[in-house]
DNA sequence: ATCATGACCATCC
DNA sequence: AGGATGGCCATGA
């Protein structure tokens, strides 16, 4: 693959600490491609085949909604993992999204 | 190079 | 509140 673009996405996603979530748009912005938010999601699609495993369950849309939960092995896996990490999920969306939101730029800049 | 697709986002109705 | 539309851009055929 060697798709640099995806690699960047994976890097960020893997940097997401447990109990935290981020949005596709935030990642896209951090990559300097704010308009390529869809590509981030698409990258996550490859995440299933990527290694090491990418915690795609920590990535939600701008509203904290678990848009991609149906792309997991099981639709319940996403919120199950999040709950396991201490992230409350209700109605397919992250509770206290603003609180658990993790800004990629916060770690990238350094 | 062109067409079609997409785990999004913003806007309009 | 919820559905529809357009735009954006990378990837694959």
Q: How far is the CA of A62 from the C1' of B9 (A)?
A: 8
Residues 6+ apart with CB under 8 A from A89: A66, A79, A82, A83, A95
Residue A102 has a pLDDT of 94
- Quick check: A83 CB within 7 A of strand C? no
Q: How far is the CA of A11 from the C1' of B4 (A)?
A: 29
Residue-wise pLDDT for A79-105, tens only, equals 999 999 999 999 899 999 999 999 998
H/E run at residue A52: none
pTM, whole model, 2 decimals?
0.92
CATH of domain A3-101: 1.10.10.10
The region, left, alpha or beta by phi > 0 then psi within -120 to 50, assigned to residue A15 is alpha
Domain ranges of chain A: 3-101
- Residue A34 pLDDT level (bands cut at 50, 70, 90): confident
The answer to whether residue A1 scores a pLDDT higher than 80 is no
Q: Which residues are bridge partners to A21 per DSSP?
A: A101
How is residue A82 written in tokens?
């999040």
The answer to whether residue A32 scores a pLDDT higher than 90 is no
State which nucleotides on strand B lie below 7 Å from a protein beta carbon: 6-10
């Amino acid at each position: 693959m060697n798709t640099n673009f995806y690699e960047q996405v994976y890097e960020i996603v893997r940097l997401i600490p447990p109990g935290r979530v981020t949005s596709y748009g935030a990642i896209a912005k951090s990559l300097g491609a704010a308009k390529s938010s869809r590509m981030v999601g698409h990258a996550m699609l490859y995440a299933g085949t990527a290694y090491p495993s990418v915690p795609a369950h920590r990535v939600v849309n701008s509203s904290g909604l678990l848009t991609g939960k149906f792309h997991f092995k099981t639709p319940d896996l996403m919120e199950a993992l999040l709950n396991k990490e201490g992230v409350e999920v209700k109605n397919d969306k992250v509770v206290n999204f603003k609180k658990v939101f993790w800004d990629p730029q916060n770690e990238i800049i350094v």
